[in-house]
Amino acid sequence: MGNKARGELKGFRLQLVERCSEPLIKGLIDELIDEKILSDAEMETIIQGNALRADKCRLLIDIVIGKGDKSCNKLLQKIREKDPALSEDLGITDNPKNNNNSTLDLIGSSEPQSFFMA
């Protein structure tokens, strides 16, 4: 499994920095403190050390990336929960590496599909 979520978060970093709102960033910080991923000191650094929204988001992502794959996965999960529209727009999914939509194609197909060979 390795650094799958870490790599995914790095891949979305620029878009998240550009598009995360201030309320979303603050909500994510609150959630990550509750999950014991961020400390109070890290929260203070993010909130008070950065006047610009983009800088807050950038630092939040960079801190979480430094904490490893589980923390990155939790941040991505919280982004999906708190802003489903942004997540969908950016392509942040529950299973990013298997995003070939084969299941969706089968479900959306008007033709019957055979799953078993006779």
- For residue range 35-73, list pLDDT tens digits in order: 999 999 999 999 998 899 999 999 999 999 999 999 999
Half-sphere exposure of 102 (CA within 13 A, CB side): 6
pLDDT reported for residue 93 = 84
- DSSP reduced 3-state for 4: helix
Query: What residue spans define the domains of the chain?
Result: 4-108
Q: Which residue has the higher pLDDT, 82 or 1?
A: 82
First-last CA distance in the chain: 36
DSSP conformational letter for 111: S
What CATH number matches the domain at 4-108, 2.30.110.10, 1.10.533.10, 3.30.540.10, 3.90.920.10? 1.10.533.10
pLDDT reported for residue 2 = 64
pLDDT reported for residue 116 = 44
Whole-number percent of the chain with pLDDT over 70: 78
Mean pLDDT over each residue of the chain, to the nearest integer:
83
